[in-house]
Chain A
Amino acid sequence: MYDVVVVGAGVTGAFIARELSKYRLSILVIDKESDVAMGTSKANSAIVHAGYDAVPGTLKALLNIRGNKMMKRISEELDVSFKMTGSLVVCFSKDGIFELEELKIRGFKNGVEDLEIIGADRLREMEPNISPNAVVALYAPSAGIICPYELTLHAMENAVENGAELKLECELSGISYDREVFRLETTKGVIECRYLVNAAGLYSDTVAEMAGDHSFRINPRKGEYVLLDKIYGSFVNRVIFQLPTDKGKGVLVTPTVDGNLLVGPNAEDIDDKTDTSTTSRGLSEVINVARLSVPSLDTRGIITSFAGLRATGSTGDFIIGPSPVNNKLIHAAGIESPGLTAAPAIGEMVADVLKKNGLKLEDKPDYCPYIEKYTPSRKMSESQWNEAVKKDPAHGRIVCRCEKITEADIVASIRRTIGARNVDAVKRRTRAGMGRCQGGFCSPRVVEILSKELGIPFEEVTKSGGKSVFLLKKTK
């Protein structure tokens, strides 16, 4: 029997688990996927928003601002790459200034006090590649970029290191509630708990329905992205938005913390919550719209494309609070943008909601907010790297030549608190295969290392769990 079970190991579930791991509680996080951050958390814009878009007074506004303010400390505690680059909303007509003024006022109401409207000259000085048609922009210095799956992984690892449990490939199929105990039917057997937190992302309405709660729906809204080679990483210096529409913040162009250039997303309401396929129409839309901001965007630099699904809730705002049918079931649902930014603040809020609904939060004196830091070989100084090679020659063997990832880095990613179990999981933890050759050279080596470390034959090593094997059988 657990005090709390959290359904969903995305960024929201991870920060809820981390927050709860500060207290003397037995906590379990379950997820149907083979790794953490497998839904919206791994395929999004990777932006820490300043907080001027959300309607004042909404949870989106409140938690965005709070999350933004927490992010620097969080990134230090959790050893996550985070850069406060600032963002720009650019306008292509002088009239746009009125809409920018409105955003600025909205930002001020939300508590973003350093917003500034800048003219064409300053804009071009800040962003030399910006379109000559861009005449005015809203500058938000407190926006930033982060690695969303690293943030999720490290938050969850920190929770696990503080005593929370994590069960992956554990899919929830039914919920019953009797004598103050939830009985969860899962693919890994029956699990019991006193409180249930629904952080199931796209599937949080399904989870709610299992408990008889039909109060909201989640509609998947697809966004497609293209990622460009590192030689284009400084093509822009900040997150470049265009004016927001009713479907979102529009197509952005941004550097990533790892030095690539990310372009996207479009927004398309779809029905299938598993449909993360890209489309030629979507990808060309993204490129064409981005070129309004940066006309010289070079598509020859594209190294990969992907799609993510926003978990758009039917209420328009984040849905955080006790279920109307059972106050021991707490929802953290409808977490679309700015959900990544807000995640740490959502964690705090959910803990508070649990407390208000009777969960006793008793401080755990040995709670440690810091994750054990791992420095990949390539980020070491020359003398550190040499020391590391002396201790373990695997630090001197580069496996992924594009990203300069060593065998030691890959082994460490498999052995860490939440270890990689497949090639994509290694990739998210180390960046092996993220580069311009997209794993062409390194994936055979990664398969080999996974096989050895996990003690499984080559034919059982997968790309991303399930039946996604690379190799079928030995040759004749």
Chain B
Amino acid sequence: MKEVDLVVIGGGPAGMAAAVKAKEKGVQDVLILERENSLGGILNQCIHNGFGLHYFGEELTGLEYAARFIDKVHRMNIPYCLETMVLNIGSDKTVTAVNSTEGVFTIKAKSIILAMGCRERTRGALNIPGTRPSGIYTAGTAQKYVNIYGYMPGKSVVILGSGDIGLIMARRLTLEGAEVKMVCELLPYSSGLTRNIVQCLDDYNIPLKLNHTVVAVHGKERLEGVTVAEVDQNRKPIPETAEFVPCDTLLLSVGLIPENELSRDAGIELDPVTSGPVVDARMETSVEGIFACGNVAHVHDLVDNVSNESELAGESAAEYILGINVPDRSETIVVKAGNGIRYTVPQLIRKQSLSRDTVKIFFRVADVYRNVRLAARCGNNILVERKRIKVTPGEMETLELKSQDLREINAGEELVIELRTDGEGH
């Protein structure tokens, strides 16, 4: 069996950043396994710009952003296998994969970084009733048809869900000559970035219908239309508001799900809210030596954050392999999503891993709130607090905590991330 120090599963932005960082930190033997025919992951179909403002300090297209990391991988001579599908990860850190040159092969790794990304939620997961014609695509699949294959999936389009990919596709399809009739969003707010709503919908006069959903799909062979209805406060469609909208295409941009089937088989503990592995502040999963980063850990809205998080995972894997700063796993602080918070990453902090000056907690709020404070609290002691005029679930939040403060928390105690209001909320 082939032995490798570090196997990185996935050659998208997360996998590349993690591999590069691990090699920089002294791991000689790194291997990236990528299922597609090139490195870059989903960035390869992102021909629009808006990437890199935070990480590179300049605005790049997805392809350009990916190219910078692909260059780093090449410059650092990090080997990678393309069109290679990982079939199984063992909790003993064996990785079994298949490709067309080597067939099925198993690698024994000292450490593994999970960077498999996510997939899109489908019509089936939403249980949208109606017929089953062609013309219904997830936004990312439509993006692939348009940007990679160069084909138009349709000419009159309704988009369900105001996730970023749906917003981007509303603009892309409009520029290609399609009529985008509306974007329906079940919630009273969009889950996409504000800049995308402005640049992709407002600039093209595409209506964003908040509190609206698709309640039925029509058409026997190709899609002929959808029924759209307003929803009440409980998100139940109001029958009187139902309206037939003729269209030949329905795009779904209704959420992303981390792809953790391999993690589950490896016995890695998953967080039911993020659908990603439970990780500590070093991005280590419940299985020692297996790390996770990027959209497999939790869905990000900016690739810049993915790169940063993945570098942390890469560095942590390097330390693990080289035997530096490896914490005793028994002493942990639980990070809890408190009032108004949907989830946090990390979900726990290992007390003995506080070798860096600060620890960043990423989290999402559960609803749109105005004039609130985001706080990290242990018991009655508030460690950090930040005022915010507006927070929305679509934009990931962070709080940076000082390690010296965290060291004072006893193992087993909870660090609560919460939203505090001055009485006016919402």
Contacts and interface: CB of A to CB of B under 8 A. Distances in A.
Contact of A472 (B35, B123, B153): B153
Contacts of B140: 440
Interface in A381-432: 382, 385-386, 388-390, 393-398, 401-402, 404
Interface stretch (A3-11, A161-169, A298-306): A298-306
A473 B221 contact: no
A176 interface: no
B151 A458 contact: yes
B35 A401 contact: yes
Given A386-B104, A468-B133, A440 B138 contact: yes
Interface stretch (B124-132, B179-187, B288-296): B124-132
Contacts, number: 146
B131 A277 contact: yes
Interface in A424-476: 436-441, 443-444, 448, 458-459, 462-476
A386 B144 CA distance: 31
A226 B126 CA distance: 11
Interface in B130-158: 130-135, 138, 140-141, 144-146, 148-155
Given A277-B129, A397-B83, A464-B221, A444 B122 contact: no
B152 A385 contact: no
A276 interface: yes
A283 B127 CA distance: 8
B414 interface: no
Given A444-B145, A473-B151, A467 B222 contact: yes
Nearest to B222: A467
Contacts of A173: none
A258 B155 CA distance: 37
Mostly helix, strand, loop or mixed at chain B's interface?
mixed
A393 B145 contact: no
A280 interface: yes
Contact of A475 (B120, B125, B146, B220): B146
B343 to A, nearest CB: 15
A283 B129 contact: yes
A227 B153 CA distance: 27
Nearest to A43: B132
A274 B85 CA distance: 40
A226 B127 contact: yes
B74 to A, nearest CB: 24
Given A231-B264, A397-B83, A306 B132 contact: yes
Contacts of A397: 83, 99-100
Contact of B155 (A306, A437, A472): A472
A279 interface: yes
Contacts of B127: 226, 278, 280, 283, 299, 302, 305
A390 B125 CA distance: 38
B145 A471 contact: yes
A163 to B, nearest CB: 33
A412 to B, nearest CB: 16
A469 B134 contact: yes
Contacts of B216: 277
Contact of B119 (A274, A304, A441, A459): A441
B101 interface: yes
B176 A476 contact: yes
B133 A463 contact: yes
Contacts of A377: 98
Contact of A305 (B124, B135, B146, B148): B124
Contacts of A276: 131-132
Contacts of A402: 261
A150 to B, nearest CB: 20
B123 A438 contact: yes
Contact of B154 (A396, A467, A472): A472
14 contacts: A276-B132, A277-B130, A278-B130, A282-B129, A306-B132, A393-B101, A397-B99, A437-B119, A443-B141, A462-B221, A464-B134, A467-B221, A468-B221, A470-B134
Given A231-B264, A463-B134, 8 more contacts: A278-B130, A302-B125, A382-B104, A385-B104, A438-B124, A440-B120, A471-B151, A472-B155
Query: What 8 A-B pairs come out closest when comparing CB atoms?
Result: A396-B100, A304-B124, A393-B100, A386-B103, A463-B134, A389-B103, A398-B85, A468-B134
